[in-house]
Amino acid sequence: MLLKENCTDTCHYLGIQRSFEKALYSYDYEAAIQLQASHYLINSLAQVNPSPQKVLDLGCGSGLITRQLCKKLQISFLHINDLSPIFLEKACYHLQEFHPKSILFNFDKPWGYQDLYDLIFSNMAFQWSFNIQGLFKKCYNHLKQSGLLAFSLPLKGSFFELEPHQRISFYSFDYISQSLAKEGFTTLKAYQLLLGRDFKTHLQALKSIKKCGANYVPHTRSYRMMERSKLSLPSTLTYAIGIFIVSK
């Protein structure tokens, strides 16, 4: 993950949190790709384990995707997590009928409790990890024996239409697969898919990223603004999505 050389971890995570909180009221309307990715993830998960009992959703956002997960798999015991207290409050509202326990913490830092889960779930959040190998270790340690880790994330190749300074550095499919194996996970399902959105202008494409909170990109130097004429050209944003379901 690309970081300022002189920026602390706190600066990095605070930038992510602020970007998402600015998109609090637009996220659910703009996160079309995130929603599509969750459909693939949840349907694949239902084929592997249709009835996990105790579940943790890491980076739950507004909770709408968590709600779909709960309905599809009939989850009875739910913990939800997010970096943002504002989004966590919104998720609790959307998930009232499932009586979730909300846990505010940064999933890259020590979790501070010892609960074990049948399933740890995350949709389009792990790409923000500053130490994904360490995150996988935490997930492994918080799973029951034979418990599942199921997640989606954008991979290398996403946003290839943008200039390098307009996007974060995404992990590759192979790197994720190797990191999971290194922690002792057994892969049950792992595949890639390409999803895309077309926009009338490049400016609209950039605004859509901002409106779903995914516009945080740290850099060490400033860049020349894009020519105004290019901002008005039609544009497409491509997401290379990885779907992973692994067991302890």
Question: What's the CA gap between 9 and 111, in Å, rounded?
Answer: 16
This prediction has a pTM of: 0.91
Domain spans of the chain, in order of start: 9-247
For residue 41, give the amino acid letter: L
pLDDT at 1: 30
Phi/psi of residue 79, nearest 5 degrees: -110, 140
Q: How many CB atoms lie within 10 A of CB 13?
A: 17
Residues of the chain with pLDDT under 50: 1-6, 220-224
pLDDT at 226: 52
Contact predicate 240/156, CB 8 Å: yes
* Span 9-247 CATH architecture: 3-Layer(aba) Sandwich (3.40)
pLDDT at 76: 86
Buried b (16+ CB within 10 A) or exposed e, 30-42: bbebbebbbebbb
Question: What's the CA gap between 240 and 57, in Å, rounded?
Answer: 22
pLDDT at 182: 97
Helix (H) or strand (E) run with residue 20 in it: helix 9-22
